[in-house]
Structure 1
Amino acid sequence: MANIRITKQFNFETGHALFGYDGKCRNVHGHSYKLSVTVIGRPITDTSHVKLGMVIDFGDLKKIVKEEIVDKFDHATVFNKNTPHVELAQELTDRGHNVILADYQPTSENMVIDFAKKIGDRLPENIKLHSLKLQETDTSYAEWYASDNS
């Protein structure tokens, strides 16, 4: 039986600021992110299994990504917790805003690394994360591939 890749796409709105950056993105701003999650595995061949022919139910993949990424990052503002932005983060939190303090500079590159770990840890043993594509704008995105990180 062949390995098959399946992909599910997600959308969420997230704000961030890049502390110490020398361009406009040092200011708090937001993006309409598009996340494509591709997993790889073998379709189920057990004829008595309710998910016969599926690598993973798209609904099961959606649940994982929604819980780990979308529900947490949608309409949140992400700051690097190792910068003075922590003071702004506290002020926003005190005012009821959803703020994430990350262990990294919240670039698309670092976010996609973080997402790969979170999603990969939740996948069933027989399913592997193949790749992620995090699109920040219509023309800019970061990609993570398992083959580049093994």
Structure 2
Amino acid sequence: MSKIRITKQFSFEAGHALYGYDGKCRNVHGHSYKLNVTVIGKPIDDKDHVKYGMVIDFGDLKKIVKEEIVDKFDHATVFNKNTPHRELAAELEKRGHSVILVDYQPTSEQMVIDFAEKIIKRLPKNISLHSLKLQETETSFAEWYASDN
């Protein structure tokens, strides 16, 4: 049977700041992110299987991505924990804000790598992550492809 790619789209709102950056993005600001998750696999060919004909149930893929990414990052502010932003993060958390501290500069490029690692760990063995597209604005996005890595 042929391998098929399926894609599920997600969206979330998040803020970030790029410590040490020489442009406006050094300031805390936010984006309406769009995330396309594409997986690849062979559709289930067991006619008695409840998910016959599916590569993966879209609901199962949604559960993975929501738990690993959307539910955590939506309406959170992301900072590199290896910068003085951790002090701002502590103050925001003290005031009840959702903050995520990461080991990287929270650019779209680095976030999409992080997301790929999180999703890969949760996919069933017969399904592979094919690609991710993280759109930061209408005209700017980062893409991750398994074939490149």
Query: What is the TM-score when the length of structure 2 is the normalising length?
Result: 1.00
Cα drift, residue 27 of structure 1: 0.1
- Show the 5 A alignment for 1:1-16: 1-16=1-16
Provide the residue aligned with 1:54 in structure 2: 54
Provide the residue aligned with 1:135 in structure 2: 135
Q: Distance in 1 between matches of 2:119 and 2:8?
A: 13
Cα drift, residue 83 of structure 1: 0.2
Cα drift, residue 18 of structure 1: 0.1
Provide the residue aligned with 1:45 in structure 2: 45
CA deviation vs aligned residue, 1:7-39 (integer Å, no higher than 9, x gap)? 000000000000000000000000000000000
After the TM superposition, list the runs of 4 or more consecutive aligned residues in structure 1 that deviate by more than 6 angstroms. none
User: Residue type matched to 2:25 in 1?
Assistant: C
Cα drift, residue 100 of structure 1: 0.2
Provide the residue aligned with 2:117 in structure 1: 117
Gaps of 5+ in 1: none
CA RMSD of aligned residues (A): 0.2
% of aligned pairs identical? 83
Query: What is the TM-score when the length of structure 1 is the normalising length?
Result: 0.99
Provide the residue aligned with 2:146 in structure 1: 146
Cα drift, residue 129 of structure 1: 0.2
Cα drift, residue 103 of structure 1: 0.4
- Show the 5 A alignment for 1:60-139: 60-139=60-139
CA deviation vs aligned residue, 1:49-75 (integer Å, no higher than 9, x gap)? 010000000000000000000000000
User: Residue type matched to 2:10 in 1?
Assistant: F
